[in-house]
Structure 1
Amino acid sequence: MERAIIFGATGGIGAALVAGLLERGISTVFAASRNKPEGLPAGARWVRFDLDNEASIAAAAQATGSEPLDLVIVASGVLTLPAQDGSGGVGPERSFRQVEPDAMARVLYLNTVGPALVAKHFLPLLPRDRRSVFAALTARVGSISDNRIGGWHSYRASKAALNMLIRNYAIELGRTHRQAVCVALHPGTVDTSLSEPFQANLPEGQLTPPMQAARNLLAVIDGLTPDDSGRLFDWAGERVEF
């Protein structure tokens, strides 16, 4: 693996993935985000993109150059929407009575439509003559078969839809890129701003530092084969049923 790009490089996991790839000695690592990350590691190349602007995603694809990409990871996403008045945020719904159409549409856009647009412009950049990986970070709570307690309607629905897109893209990609792997990855509960409002009641040892989470995910990616394409794996490499 020589060329990789991480979308969502200003987030906790995204930034750690950039650092983790550089730690491995990957020669070209693109860090894609709306604003240039503070403390961008030496050796990483910043590429601007905005999920709300498809033209910027197309421009990001152009900015990576003419050589194929061996690894594309979409690490962007949202659980709590920022409140418009700046007073905290709009968290996941605990009841169907709390569903608001605008908030649900926004979560679905950021967690599902956004990664779909990245795939639209970056799947064609994967090589046809060797192994490559397209991965999107999802969540175990997006598994329909694993859902036992309900709630978190918009977030669950957005991740379940993302999982379906991964399956779709894997099938389509396999027709032209036989060595490519297209997967959804569950990183576990990581100590980032996304999980911070929900960390209080976590059992000891369940919260993973971002750098360890990145190393876990990269180790899972190392072991994937084309037969794994279209599936969901957790941070330990265990398959999670959709």
Structure 2
Amino acid sequence: MSQVSVVIGASGGIGQAVVTQLSDQGESVYALSRAGTALSVWGDNVETQALDSNDEAAIAAFIQSLKDKGEVVRLAICTIGMLHDDNASPAISPEKKLEDLDTAQLTAYFSVNTILPALWLKHLVGVVDKEQATVVCLSARVGSISDNRLGGWYGYRASKAALNMLLKTAAIEYNRRTKTTTLVSYHPGTVDTGLSQPFQANVKPEKLFEPEFTAKQLLTHIKELDLKDSPHFIDWDGKPVSW
């Protein structure tokens, strides 16, 4: 069995940074995204594939391909997420008040932020390394129920809170079935990517991170997590976030 890492959403800012750093470390990496675009900085140890996570059959086929090649997943990082979508009709942006709640927008938030990562949790359980594995989903501090003091952003908050619950629930089953897989919900901070760009005006310069920084923090901190305490909800500084 050979070990591989899988980065889902590899065309995004954080996804690209994670793939680059794993490649530099000599890891065998599958970089998955709808575009399937490779970067010139990625080495021969990175295989890019076009894969739309909305297509569960495509996820299942990818997982089966790993099994067919005798590969197991040492690390999987799902960076898929949506905060706003200017191309949607009507455009999607975080709600400021109850009157802004909209069925289509709420559906979109849950589809991207909750359901797509859940499908990966479903299929990865059959191919994670039985010796030691880590599965990470990018969440957000605003998805913490106990830490919500400002309100607003209903759909984004709720979809990330639901993702956190899925991780907590899946960790119980992963523990029964694989014994050695650590599940992680990761708050990357406010990162200078397209996801946060419209909301950066009030962010202090020292709190606006480059993708390379938050990717490095993630890859550093997951090595320090204790399996027996899985799942973990941590921020970019490695500190626990309340569920």
Q: TM-score range by the shorter chain?
A: over 0.9
Aligned residue for 1:147?
148
C-alpha separation in 2, matches of 1:195 and 1:202: 10
Aligned residue for 2:81?
77
Shift of residue 49, structure 1, vs aligned partner: 1.7
Structure 1's unaligned 5+ residue stretches are none
- Residue 159 (structure 2) pairs with residue 122 (structure 1): no
Shift of residue 2, structure 1, vs aligned partner: 4.2
- Match for 1:35: what amino acid? A
Aligned residue for 2:35?
35
- Match for 2:187: what amino acid? H
C-alpha separation in 2, matches of 1:22 and 1:9: 12
- Residue 80 (structure 2) pairs with residue 112 (structure 1): no
- Residue 61 (structure 2) pairs with residue 59 (structure 1): yes
Aligned residue for 2:94?
92
Aligned residue for 1:68?
72
| Equivalent pairs, count | 238
C-alpha separation in 1, matches of 2:211 and 2:139: 15
Contact 2:8 2:32 in 1 (8 A): yes
Seen in structure 2, the aligned counterparts of structure 1 residues 22 and 240 have a Cα distance that, compared at 3 Å, is: same
Seen in structure 2, the aligned counterparts of structure 1 residues 78 and 84 have a Cα distance that, compared at 3 Å, is: closer
Contact 1:3 1:69 in 2 (8 A): yes
Aligned residue for 2:51?
49
- Match for 1:73: what amino acid? I
Shift of residue 155, structure 1, vs aligned partner: 0.2
- Comparing 130-139 and 224-233, the one that deviates more: 224-233
CA RMSD after TM alignment: 1.6
Shift of residue 38, structure 1, vs aligned partner: 4.7
Aligned residue for 2:133?
132
What TM-score results when the alignment is normalised by the length of structure 1? 0.94
- Comparing 228-237 and 100-109, the one that deviates more: 228-237
Structure 2's unaligned 5+ residue stretches are none
Deviations 1:67-97 (A, max 9, x none): 2110011101100023335x9x421111111
Aligned residue for 2:20?
19
- Match for 2:126: what amino acid? P
Shift of residue 123, structure 1, vs aligned partner: 1.8
C-alpha separation in 2, matches of 1:94 and 1:84: 18
Q: Percent identity?
A: 39
Contact 1:190 1:207 in 2 (8 A): yes
C-alpha separation in 1, matches of 2:124 and 2:103: 30
Moved over 4 A (4+): none
Deviations 1:5-55 (A, max 9, x none): 0000000001100001112221x1000111122525122101222122111
Aligned residue for 1:213?
214
Q: Secondary structure at the match of 1:194?
A: coil
Shift of residue 201, structure 1, vs aligned partner: 1.4
What TM-score results when the alignment is normalised by the length of structure 2? 0.93
- Comparing 53-62 and 37-46, the one that deviates more: 37-46
Contact 2:3 2:129 in 1 (8 A): no
Aligned residue for 1:231?
232
